[in-house]
Amino acid sequence: MNDKKSFILRINPDTFQALEKWAADEFRSVNGQIEYLLHEAISKSGRGRPGAKSGDKVKPKGKEKN
């Protein structure tokens, strides 16, 4: 069973076209490229879990169980 969350994304056509080319250049789907970019942004901002890999679930800060 897939544990990924699905949602609708509305995006400017020019932005989508740029993502499409970027994804093709890196041998990813547009969805995979968006997921990769989001993961990178979360990691760089320090909002992800330490040592989390792309595809790992991201837990919001302050929501850990004690």
**Residue 20: both structure tokens together:** 């499409």
With beta carbons less than 8 A apart as the criterion, state whether 20 and 14 touch.
Answer: no
CA dist 31 to 27, 36, 65, 66, Å?
Answer: 12, 9, 31, 34
Length of the chain equals 66
The reply to whether the predicted model has a pTM over 0.85 is no
pLDDT of residue 19: 97
The model's pLDDT over 28-63, given as tens digits with 9 standing for 90+, comes to 999 999 999 999 999 999 998 776 665 555 454 555
The per-type count for the chain, helices as H runs and strands as E runs, is 2, 0
